[in-house]
Structure formats: C-alpha cells, structure tokens
Amino acid sequence: MKNTLIPILFLVVLSNGCTRLYKENVEDSMNSVPERLDSLMNEYYERDQFHGGIVVAQNGEPIYERYVGLADRGWGIPIDEKTKFDIASVNKSMIAALVMKAVEDGRLNIEDKLVDLLAGFPYVGNFHEDITLHNMLCHVSGLPDYDNLADELRQYEFRTFKRMRFTNEAYVNFISLLPPVGKPNESFYYSNFAYHLLTIILEETYNEPFACILEEKLTKPLGLTNTMSTDSNEMIVPQLAKAYQFQQESGEWTQNQFIDLSIGRRIFSTASDLNRWAHVMDNPGWLKKESLDLMKRNQLDQIAGNIGYGYGWAVVAGVRSNNLVDLGIDLPYIIHGGSTEGYKSMLINLNNGGYVISFLSNVGALTDEVAMAQEITKILIR
C-alpha cells in the first residue's frame, strides 16, 4: 500500500442497531473469517467488554470493519466509522515517526543529547548528560514513569497529576525533578515522560504546536482525515467518543470529566485511520526505508534479551520470547496498545502487513485489549 490511500468499497449491512461493513468479493478462503470475527465481537459487545470500532485488513485491503456501542450514553449517540477515540499510547508510533521525519529533514539526529535539546529551558532539576533521542525512543533513557510520582499524585489512577495544567517550561521542570530509574542504555524501562519530552522537542524544533506538526507532517500527507491532536481542553474534538468506566458497586457508568490535554499531546483517531497508519510501516515513501527499519527493528538486543522494542512499537521477531506482549503465534509483528481514562486502544501490524488489526474502545477496564487481540489473531492465523 503506497502513501496514496487506496479507495475501499464496502457492503453495508445494518443489524441489531450496529453497523457492519464487509469487503465485497472476499475470496472463498476468507469467507468464514468475517463471520467468526462477528461472532467474537458479538460476545464482547453483549458482555459490555467492547464498545468501539475495529478494522482488520489483509495485505492492505480491509476484510472486516464494525462499530458497536455508544459514543455518548447521555444522548444515546452510537459509535460509527467517524467516531474518534483517544488512542492513548498508540500515539507513540506517530510521535516516533515524527521524530524520524525531523531526522530526515536534517533538523534532528537520533544521537542528539537531551540536555542540548532542552538548553533553552530553565529547569532546576537535572537530566543525565548522556540521554539521547535514541534512548528515549526505545525506552532505555533511565527516565521515570507515572509509578515514580509522589504518592499524593498517584492516588485515584493519577487523577491529581493528570488534572494539572502545564506549560512546556513547567513540564520540563517537573520531569527534571523526578528521580531517574537508571542510567542511559542500562536497562529497558517504559517511560511515558520520555515521549512527553519528545513532543516538546518537536515543538521546539519546528516552532509550532504539536497539533500543527501532526497535521502538516503526518495526517495531511497520508490522508488521515479523522486523526488530530490538541493541547487545549477548551477545544471541542468533533465526534469524540466519551470515555466511561463501569462502577461494579453501583452498577452505573461514570464518565471521565477532565484530563489535562497538555500532558503528552493526546492524539484522537478512528479505527480506520489507525489501520491505514500501520500500513505505512511497510511502504517507504512518506518515510525512507532506513527510517522505517529503525522503527521496526528491536533496539534492545544487547540490553534486554526477553523484550523487543523499536521506536514507538513493541517488536516481536517471530519467536515467542517477548515479555511485553505475546499473541501466541510464531510470526513477526509490531504492536502497541494503550489505556487512559476509560479509553483502550490496540494496533498490530502482523507479518509485515500480512494482516493489520486496529481497534478502539471507550468502556475502560472492561476491555482487555491484549486478550481481545489474541483471540482475533487466532481467527486470522488458523
């Protein structure tokens, strides 16, 4: 699949208030796959374990697409193909790609030092002088994560922290004061803060807000018309699914009311746009092959033998030895999931684009994104 996105023809079938879209003229060998996927999604939906959108593609062509559940429970608004979700940590694949785009533009180098890139920020803490962009991209920087916050900021799923409003300067200073978990290249330690700093570095590099960088450098060139970002809580994201958690004690759904969008530069997208995005990883053009190879290559061979991570993607080389995720197959794939404030996300590029699976949900902890990905993969890889 090239950078110009291939038009897709679907047959739309309405049943039980849910939209089901099937690719016409599916080969006979694939006839049972949509049916089996539909049966699986029915089970998840009927148990309230999935409300959202899912797209499965084979060799660049969608073979299954479905949207179920409610985007807004108060108004009874259903989820459809244009409903956006917070993609949570799946945004790391896009952030990493934008860093590589800046490298190709000659604006950054993956060996650039963090302290040099933040030289214009008046922080009072410190960062290890040897941390590079490479270290941050593959989580070997020694920078901390949410679990390293002070106790008062960790309560109620980090609610206090996630409702703080930061300027770039204040956020750099805040992270500089957190104790590191190790030295660069010492061990793998997944750090959201490393990627939050990468978005700030991108803004400094291009002298533009992250939302504009994302649009100008990624979504517009690739035709991802339903993908966007904002760092302003005052801006209304069009057709955004509200995020919910189910309270077992009361038997009621509660909606997430606020999260500071300046933290990490949230990205909102659809299952269809995410599916197209994953195909970019196998089609040089928007990024050069060398950049894509770096993103998809396990950068941890000499550091963490039982973990594979590239730039913005967990990497499984075809041997079931990755402690980050195991889909139960002996084929190579890159994968990333996400979870935040009631949203769940998953994006998988299996066997170099042989299959791509993308799904987004808004029912919080009721969706087990890894288990769901494993069951979908079992149907595809028979």
The answer to whether residues 99 and 66 belong to one domain is no
What is the number of domains present in the chain? Answer: 2
In a domain, 137, yes or no: yes
CB proximity list for 24: less than 8 A, separation 6 or greater: 9, 10, 11
2 within a domain of the structure (yes/no): no
The count of other CB atoms within 10 Å of the CB of residue 193 is: 21
Q: Higher confidence at residue 317 or residue 203?
A: 203
Separation of alpha carbons 357 and 40, rounded Å: 14
Determine the 3-state secondary structure of 344 from DSSP. strand
The secondary structure of 285-333 as a DSSP string is TSS-HHHHHHHHS-TTTTT-TT--B-SSSEEE-SSS--SS---S-SS-E
Helix (H) or strand (E) holding 15: strand 10-15
CATH code of the domain containing 75: 3.40.710.10
pLDDT at 341: 84
- Give the mean pLDDT of the chain: 88
Segment 246-266 shows an average pLDDT of: 81
Task: Give the structural domain span for 188.
Answer: 92-211
- Give residue 236's pLDDT band: very low, low, confident or very high (50, 70, 90): confident
Q: Does the pLDDT of residue 182 top 50, yes or no? A: yes
Q: What is the pLDDT of residues 10-35, one digit of tens each?
A: 222 223 334 444 343 444 444 589 99
- Report residue 128's pLDDT band, with 50, 70 and 90 as the boundaries: very high
User: Which pLDDT score, from 0 to 100, does residue 265 have?
Assistant: 78
* Rounded mean pLDDT, 96-116: 98
Count other C-beta atoms under 10 Å from residue 330's C-beta.
10
82 and 96 in a single domain? The answer is no
Same domain, 233 and 356: yes
Look at residue 220 and tell me if it is in a domain.
no
Same-domain pairing of 182 and 111: yes
Tell me the mean pLDDT in the region 321-337: 88
Residues 232 and 284 in one domain: yes
Which of 25-39, 277-291, 333-347 has the lowest average pLDDT?
Answer: 25-39
User: In this predicted structure, what is the pLDDT of residue 166?
Assistant: 86
